[in-house]
Amino acid sequence: MFWSHVEKQLSAYCNGEKDADESRGIAEHLIKCERCRKEYDKIKLGVELARHLQRDSAPEEIWAEIQQLIAKRENLAEDRRSTIGSFGRYRLAAVAAALILLLVGIVVWKSRPAEIVDSRPPGSELPSQWKVQTTEGSRITGDRSLSAGSLIETASNETARISAIEIGNVDLEPNTRVRLVDTRVTEHRLALDRGTIHAKIYAPPRLFFVDTPSAEAIDLGCAYTLNVDDQGRTFLKVTLGWVALVRGGLESYVPIGAMCQTRPGIGPGTPYFADASSGFVSALEKFDFEGEDEEHLKAVLSTARARDTFTLWHLIQRVDETKRQEVLNRMVKLVGMPKGVTSAGIMKLDKQMLELWKDELDTVWF
């Protein structure tokens, strides 16, 4: 859910302990909720660092010390049994347990590995995470390690693949220019200057980013195609999972089977499903990028199907109150309004009602 905070679920989410539906809901929430996103970033950093730690056994002598400590506490408890009540015994046991944990913690700290895989401060660049793989007809041969600032450019008869273990693969079509902006424990970022990439990412959500001239694509664990044309316009199509396009305070949340366009100086438009009619897409494009003209809005609404309420649900949160009423009326006509959702609540952009309506429309959209 977008608006029910998920801090208590983030540890399990980061460790892959949630099922697909729960993970999707948490991923959706993280895009919209800054509070949970900050907490997630902290937990994600801890998880990533923990993956680099080596297991080590505590020295044998520590167990002897622990046993001696337990024995002393047991003798003390026996001597004082006649004067210590049940509350006192529980308190004594708690103190003993705390001492044991403290001792174990000290030993673990002292016996920690001398080196971690990456011993630099959190957020510093990791070495050789990304590689360019051999491609047919390419000037690139073999596997070449990349670092921040590396540029990969394909000619008209070339393709390329860049990949990173535990992150994913990014395939470059001909005439594509990509830069590796940064590679960190908490973030891997590319920049697509022009051309087309096909990304298949299996890293945790919000770890892989692609900058384009008109938006930032935030991966939520998915597969997608991203194209930047010569005018800097971005076109996104998601084939698995979810992606968010963000720029200048605008966010477009794009799920499997959906698309979204962006424009330099404007940012993301309203997302829509790939099977929407050409008339609907054309009218939406004009409304998003040529000014929120009333005529364009009427064309969007008149050509919308029931499934296109996915677009209208997003649109209703972007327009002014007058246009919002028009969008709401069309949505109600196409799919009705579920129990617990009111026109007044939607007009006020009540987050819980919007989310409830979205959940009810899930079967219509997918």
Q: What is the pLDDT of residue 205?
A: 86
Tell how strand 188-201 and strand 208-212 pair up.
parallel
CA–CA–CA angle 322, 323, 327 (5° rounding): 125
Tell me the Cα Rg of the chain.
27
Is 203 in contact with 219 (CB distance < 8 Å)?
A: yes
Q: Quick check: 39 pLDDT over 60?
A: yes
* Residue 272 pLDDT exceeds 60: yes
How far apart are alpha carbons 234 and 362 in whole angstroms? 27
What pLDDT band is residue 8 in, cutting at 50, 70 and 90? confident
pLDDT, average across residues 238-254: 91
Counting residues of the chain whose pLDDT is more than 90, the rounded percentage is 50
Structural contact between residues 357 and 336, judged by C-beta atoms closer than 8 angstroms: no
Question: For residue 228, what are the β-bridge partners?
Answer: 195, 234
Write out pLDDT tens, residues 53-70.
555 555 666 566 666 766
Residue 251, number of CB atoms within 10 A of its CB: 17
Express as a percent the part of the chain with pLDDT over 70: 69
Q: Is the pTM of this model over 0.85?
A: no
Q: Which residues of 57-96 are buried (b: 16+ CB within 10 A; e: fewer)?
A: eeeeebeeebeeeeeebeeeeeeeeeeeeeeeeeebeeeb
- Joined tokens for residue 118: 């990456």
* Top-confidence residue, 295 or 222: 295
pLDDT tens figures, 93-137:
333 443 433 343 333 333 333 222 233 344 444 444 788 875 655
Cα 91 to Cα 79, 83, 96, 97, 134, distances in angstroms: 16, 14, 9, 10, 65
- pLDDT of amino acid 298: 96
Task: Give dist(CA 143, CA 135) in Å, integer.
Answer: 10
Query: Can you read off the two tokens belonging to residue 340?
Result: 């617990």
